[in-house]
Structure 1
Amino acid sequence: MTAPSTAPAPPSRGGRWIQQWDPEDETFWKETGEKIAKRNLLFSVLSEHIGFSIWTMWSVLVLFMGPEYGLTPADKFLLTSMVTLVGAVVRVPYTFAVAIFGGRNWTIISASLLLVPTIAAFTVMKPGTSFNTFLLVGLLAGIGGGNFASSMTNINAFFPLRKKGWALGLNAGGGNIGVPVIQLVALAIIGASGGPRVLLGIYIPLIVVAAVLSSLFMDNIENVKNDTGAAKDAAKDGHTWIMSFLYIGTFGSFIGYSFAFGQVLQNQFGRTPLEAAYVTFIGPLLGSLIRPVGGALADKYGGAKITLYNYVGMAVATAVLIAASMQKSLGLFTVAFVVLFVLSGLGNGSTFKMIPGIFHTKALAKGLEGEEAAAYGRRLSGASMGLIGAVGALGGVGINLAFRQSFLSYGSGTGAFVAFLAFYAACFLVTWAVYLRRSAAKGLATATTEAKPQLNYAEV
């Protein structure tokens, strides 16, 4: 670009507000922006990572809850479903909190709030506590799910469009990996004959560390204003809801299976808590690590293509799970489940890359150019991410409720897997029909042919 750099002076320590931010300006990005953006990404990942751990801690705590707790398998699936539900719902206000408080400021607040469910669980986690008390405390843990939405919205503003797939994938993957990390810590504690309070006691100081580091090293961007109009515009746009549907298939699967995997192994295959813990972390770990790869592949080949083929893989893995479930083959079942986790993580990266690309393409179709088009894309994609993330997380609720009903009706998870297979087929058809059919591609590209060089970065 020929425009002069608008690189701001380093933000002051008092409040850490950056007055000007233009990551699409290549001079600014190379001289100043990239370093600041990567620093914010690092500490955003840390806070989001712990948020995911706290959100999904009940997937681990239920493994500790033996017969002396008096809970049935249906009780446990209901508990994890409600925790997932709260995590989905709070993603909407968390998205807009970034614009109200600033990305750094809200990261400090949201990290500190994680102390509430952790200390509450530490207090009540013992036999004799009523199910309703466990349910109430579990609902508090749902706030950990909101950290994803605010973190993604914040990081979306820091990076240029050409880097968003990688940056958002790394941010989300680093957060998602909080799921297997807390499961690994739980495995070590169970193996050492420790109790659930030991696990919770480990995370309380880590939450404090994350909040302090966010305060010291993150920044707010001044021009990320609270824009209720963006929320309304995003809610009115059909692509927001189409992408929400597709994200149910990827992230809904990831978070739903993260909560349910251990319980399925216990209830369907008779695994002990320790035996279940030995394998439950593997799927979420690989699914988290692969998410940035999904974003990077989407940057290179187009998110829609990667997403389409990914749903084919998820359907095949689910079909194998159905066969393994019917044959009671634990080895095949475990391998197929882990593969399904990996594919859900890959799809998480590719679907989230599609979001900014779609809205940037629409901006070009409106005749906008340069920074004006980029600002339009950031405005709507940032607002839509909270809605898409919230609806996608509701898929995790559906998965746990489906397992609950399947075990009540059939004594196994086979019925639930059949329903999931049908849903992945629907996701495949929607991806193809909306984003890859010739007529759909032509519609998205209308009035943008002269801007083709810019569209290389906005491939959906």
Structure 2
Amino acid sequence: MNNKRVYQLPLQTLSLILGFAAWVLLSSMISTIKVDLHLLPGQIAWITAIPVLSGSLLRIPAGYLTNRYGARIIFMTGFLILIIPMLWLTAARHFEELLGIGLLLGVGGSMFSVGVTSLPKYYQKDRMGFVNGIYGLGNLGSALTTFGLPLLAASLGWRNAPWIYMGVMLLMALIVFKTGDREESRVNQPLMKQIKELSRQSKLWVLSLFYFITFGSFVAFTVFLPNFLVESFALTKPEAGIYTACFIGLATLIRPVGGLIADKLNPYMLLSLVFAGIGVSSLVLSLSPGFGVYTAATMSIALFAGVGNGAVFKLVPLYFVREAGVANGIISAIGGLGGFFPPLCLGLIKGFTGNYMLGFILMSGYAWICLVIALLYVKYFRKPARESSAAVVAFQTR
């Protein structure tokens, strides 16, 4: 093992932090941008949703390309691409331009697939829950931007703030180029062949179903909360940013704990508890409670979603080895789509009904369905870690 492999986990975690920091650039400043550019509510919904959509769909090619070319090349390329929408944002004046910027910012969200594909090559399977949990701390990038960018925009102006981000992206591209592992093992297998093989495996779709709500709820609330808190509870923009950052921070910091517990216990039992918690909390939110109860239910979802994210990605490298890049991409893409649809649906539901009750009831119902499936897997797959141990070891010693 060369020396560079020793610090791939901290390097890739830092890369994800900065990728996610860029991913939420628009949603973090939308309450200010909408005033200057006179944006309509429907336009705001699309501007905040498009980065989530593109970041989700790009995870499939990102995972595949990581297996083929290595994390070093993909991370470095991603940071250089992210400079383009940031530069564009400094001069943007129209709704259509913000949509284009959002599409490109999705590259930051796609970076999740890079690490979850690369890191299993460096660690044994019985540590992957904790390792992927640590890597998942990259979600803190969303919290840093959600909390810090409104303050930066208030001080420098929202058109000037991206210049600081551009400098950081360029610096990180240089760091990855210099310190990334040039000798990472590669898998060169046709993309469509991998997708065809994976599509026959029920576990891929079960884990995708689970990640749709665990990661999807995390992304959806990250996008939904800043504007909602200002409009519904009369919080100031910085206060809404701090609140959302607390949600992100809790979900992110608890993720390694979820992975660690999943390393020790049956992951499906842990996921059963997660889905029960999300189901109850969503029902509470459907009642449109006061600020105190709303906060308790929201932070409960952050807690359960974070634990669930750690547990799901404990299971992924156990079941998928040679197709790990594409499998990670598909599962994480579907999880990202779980963050794309809910904010749009909630907006439509409120437009028709005047409140968000039905949206949160549907979210609760989805969680109960996942609970039933997870309990079935507890019964029939009591020791999932044994299913692919030999394959993982063989892959790591190639």
- For normalisation by structure 2, the TM-score amounts to 0.91
The residue number in structure 1 matching 2:202 is: 238
2:169 is equivalent to residue 201 of structure 1: no
The residue number in structure 2 matching 1:140 is: 104
Q: CA deviation at 1:203?
A: 1.0
Instruction: Report the aligned-residue RMSD.
Output: 2.4
2:148 is equivalent to residue 180 of structure 1: no
The residue number in structure 2 matching 1:77 is: 45
The residue number in structure 1 matching 2:368 is: 425
The aligned runs of 1:306-325 (5 Å cut-off) are: 306-323=270-287, 325=288
CA 1:341–1:65 in structure 2 vs 1: closer, same or farther (change >3 Å)?
Answer: same
Q: CA deviation at 1:100?
A: 2.6
CA 1:396–1:146 in structure 2 vs 1: closer, same or farther (change >3 Å)?
Answer: same
- Equivalent residue letter for 1:216: K
The residue number in structure 1 matching 2:396 is: none
CA 1:90–1:331 in structure 2 vs 1: closer, same or farther (change >3 Å)?
Answer: same
Q: CA deviation at 1:66?
A: 4.2
Contact 1:156 1:382 (8 Å CA) reproduced:
no
- Equivalent residue letter for 1:410: T
Contact 1:170 1:291 (8 Å CA) reproduced:
yes
- Equivalent residue letter for 2:275: Y
From 156, 178, 187, give the equivalent of 1:225: 187
Question: In the aligned structure 1, how far is the partner of 2:14 from the partner of 2:103?
Answer: 23
CA 1:232–1:37 in structure 2 vs 1: closer, same or farther (change >3 Å)?
Answer: farther
Q: Deviations over 1:414-453 (max 9, x none)?
A: 22211111111111112112x112xx2279699x7xx99x
The residue number in structure 2 matching 1:436 is: 378
**What secondary structure sits across from 2:188 in the alignment?**
coil
Q: CA deviation at 1:286?
A: 1.0
Structure with the bigger RCO (C-alpha within 8 Å, sep 6+) is: 2
Contact 1:119 1:200 (8 Å CA) reproduced:
yes
CA 1:199–1:445 in structure 2 vs 1: closer, same or farther (change >3 Å)?
Answer: closer
Q: Which runs of 5+ in 1 are unaligned?
A: 1-7, 11-34, 360-376, 456-460
From 143, 150, 153, give the equivalent of 2:117: 153
| Higher deviation after alignment, 285-294 or 274-283 | 274-283
2:88 is equivalent to residue 120 of structure 1: yes
Contact 2:64 2:325 (8 Å CA) reproduced:
no
| Higher deviation after alignment, 74-83 or 343-352 | 74-83
Contact 1:157 1:378 (8 Å CA) reproduced:
no
Q: CA deviation at 1:383?
A: 3.1
From 160, 168, 172, give the equivalent of 1:210: 172
CA 1:443–1:193 in structure 2 vs 1: closer, same or farther (change >3 Å)?
Answer: closer
The residue number in structure 1 matching 2:332 is: 389
Q: CA deviation at 1:81?
A: 1.7
Q: Deviations over 1:50-101 (max 9, x none)?
A: 1111111122021213444222223212222222111111011101111232
**What secondary structure sits across from 1:197 in the alignment?**
coil
Q: CA deviation at 1:38?
A: 4.1
- Equivalent residue letter for 2:311: S
**What secondary structure sits across from 1:196 in the alignment?**
coil
Contact 1:92 1:387 (8 Å CA) reproduced:
yes
The aligned runs of 1:273-312 (5 Å cut-off) are: 273-312=237-276
Question: In the aligned structure 1, how far is the partner of 2:102 from the partner of 2:307?
Answer: 29
Q: CA deviation at 1:406?
A: 2.1
Q: Which runs of 5+ in 2 are unaligned?
A: 394-398
Q: CA deviation at 1:113?
A: 1.4
Question: In the aligned structure 2, how far is the partner of 1:165 from the partner of 1:220?
Answer: 25
Contact 2:67 2:117 (8 Å CA) reproduced:
no
Contact 1:84 1:397 (8 Å CA) reproduced:
yes
The residue number in structure 2 matching 1:169 is: 133
Question: In the aligned structure 1, how far is the partner of 2:206 from the partner of 2:70?
Answer: 29
CA 1:72–1:335 in structure 2 vs 1: closer, same or farther (change >3 Å)?
Answer: farther
Q: CA deviation at 1:238?
A: 1.3
**What secondary structure sits across from 2:235 in the alignment?**
coil
**What secondary structure sits across from 2:243 in the alignment?**
helix
CA 1:442–1:137 in structure 2 vs 1: closer, same or farther (change >3 Å)?
Answer: closer
Contact 1:268 1:412 (8 Å CA) reproduced:
no
2:64 is equivalent to residue 96 of structure 1: yes
Q: CA deviation at 1:275?
A: 3.1
From 299, 313, 321, give the equivalent of 1:352: 313
**Number of residue-to-residue matches in the alignment:** 389
CA 1:261–1:155 in structure 2 vs 1: closer, same or farther (change >3 Å)?
Answer: same
CA 1:95–1:315 in structure 2 vs 1: closer, same or farther (change >3 Å)?
Answer: same
Contact 2:55 2:336 (8 Å CA) reproduced:
yes
The residue number in structure 2 matching 1:366 is: none
| Higher deviation after alignment, 290-299 or 135-144 | 135-144
2:348 is equivalent to residue 405 of structure 1: yes
- Equivalent residue letter for 1:250: T
Question: In the aligned structure 1, how far is the partner of 2:221 from the partner of 2:183?
Answer: 36
2:327 is equivalent to residue 380 of structure 1: no
Q: Deviations over 1:10-69 (max 9, x none)?
A: 3xxxxxxxxxxxxxxxxxxxxxxxx65440111111111111111111220212134442
Bigger Rg, which one: 1
Q: Deviations over 1:147-202 (max 9, x none)?
A: 111121111222111111111111122x1111101012124336x54422343122
The residue number in structure 2 matching 1:330 is: 291
Contact 2:151 2:238 (8 Å CA) reproduced:
no
Q: Deviations over 1:247-280 (max 9, x none)?
A: 0010011111111111221233333323322312
Contact 1:356 1:381 (8 Å CA) reproduced:
yes
Contact 2:69 2:186 (8 Å CA) reproduced:
no
Question: In the aligned structure 2, how far is the partner of 1:121 from the partner of 1:272?
Answer: 24
